[in-house]
Amino acid sequence: MKISRKASLLGLLSTALIASLPLNATELNVYSARKEALIKPLLDRFAEQNDVTINLVTGKADALISRLKNEGQFSPADVLITTDVGRLQRAKDMGLTQPITLAEFPNSEFHDAEQHWVALTKRARPIMVSVDKIDEYKIQSYEDLTKPEFAGKICVRSSANIYNQSMVAALIAQKGEQYAQDWATGLVKNFARKPKGGDRDQIKAIAAGVCDIALANTYYLAAMQNADAAQQKAAQAVSVVWPNQSDRGVHINISGIAVTKYAQHKTTAEALIAFMLTQDAQSWYGKTNHEYPVDSTIEWSDTLTALGTFNGESIPIGKVGELNAQAVKIMDRAGWL
């Protein structure tokens, strides 16, 4: 998959599609793992255009899935917006979602094969390297991170983190379980410290000299580059390495949206999904979150554009979610705490 400023994989859903979906409610209940500031303005625009009141509940991604499960058939939620295909697949496997019945479902690999969820944005997880070491280390692949010379040099989040789980799951899908096991075991040997913190913390650790190398999603780096002076300074301490450009490409994941199993307002929920995939919504959402739009015609944010183009993984994204449990076992065996 070649990823460039205007290269992606999804055909447009027209505004006419939204108009073709008669709304069956004057309200819509949305559970969102995205922070309010990153999603509410877009929901407000949909609400105003369609005379719908949106009741927004935000929270941690895993907590919202647990809430849906506990609420069962009495859940008020109509829509789930969350991060990473691993969580979307988990919600599906738990029976918390239902097929989306858009008249024109996106023709893309970035949706569930049975249409239980669809991607809203793509996110890349490259390698971050200290600007002082980028020329010396000459890292070109994820496999390079297992080399003995990088012992004590790598910072990364814990194995409980869904982004790392999906990265390992993608490696299983492409190279097999034993290959992924060997890679995870080699990576753990090179940890600079016990895994802790979020992606921003790994970048800050490089800036503080705790380690020289980290794995992190680009939107965290982009957010830091547009934050306060301290975060900007930390972000300036790293360079992005796009790994495996001659073979399988950098790891790609998504944020996505689904209709809940017991949605009371399904038609309105599907109208929101169609709206979220229009050009205007994709442009705002991608640039506000500093993520890569799934719409092939939308330009990236200036910050992402400055990070450069890259080749991404080309595997069915749903497979990554399906292999999550296998990935967790591999990470446990490797001692990835």
Is 262 assigned a ligand-binding role in the annotation?
Answer: no
CA distance linking residue 293 with residue 282, whole number of Å = 6
Q: What is the pTM of this model?
A: 0.90
Domains 2-123+251-312 and 124-250+321-334 equal at CATH topology level? yes
CA distance linking residue 153 with residue 144, whole number of Å = 12
Two structure tokens written together for 213: 């190398």
Is 219 assigned a ligand-binding role in the annotation?
Answer: yes
Distances from the Cα of 259 to the Cα of 38, 88, 102, angstroms: 20, 11, 11
- What is residue 297's predicted lDDT score, i.e. its pLDDT? 82
**Run of H or E including 275:** helix 266-276
For residue range 270-302, list pLDDT tens digits in order. 999 999 999 999 999 888 889 999 887 889 999
Tell the CATH topology of 2-123+251-312: D-Maltodextrin-Binding Protein; domain 2 (3.40.190)
The rounded percent of the chain whose pLDDT value lies above 90 is 83
Average pLDDT score over the chain? 91
**What would the mean pLDDT of 199-225 be, rounded to a whole number?**
98
Evaluate whether the domain defined by 124-250+321-334 bears CATH number 3.30.1280.10.
no
pLDDT at position 22 over 90: no
- What is residue 21's predicted lDDT score, i.e. its pLDDT? 45
Q: Helix 36-50 vs helix 279-289: angle between axes, to the nearest 10 degrees?
A: 160
Cross-strand pairs, 29: 55
For residue range 233-283, list pLDDT tens digits in order. 999 999 999 999 999 999 999 999 999 999 999 999 999 999 999 999 999
Two structure tokens written together for 276: 């979220």
Outline where DSSP puts E strands in the chain: 2-3, 27-32, 53-58, 79-83, 97-98, 117-125, 127-130, 154-155, 213-215, 238-241, 251-260, 292-293, 310-311
pLDDT at position 48 over 80: yes
Domain ranges of the chain: 2-123+251-312, 124-250+321-334
Local confidence band at 8 (pLDDT 50, 70, 90 cut-offs)? very low
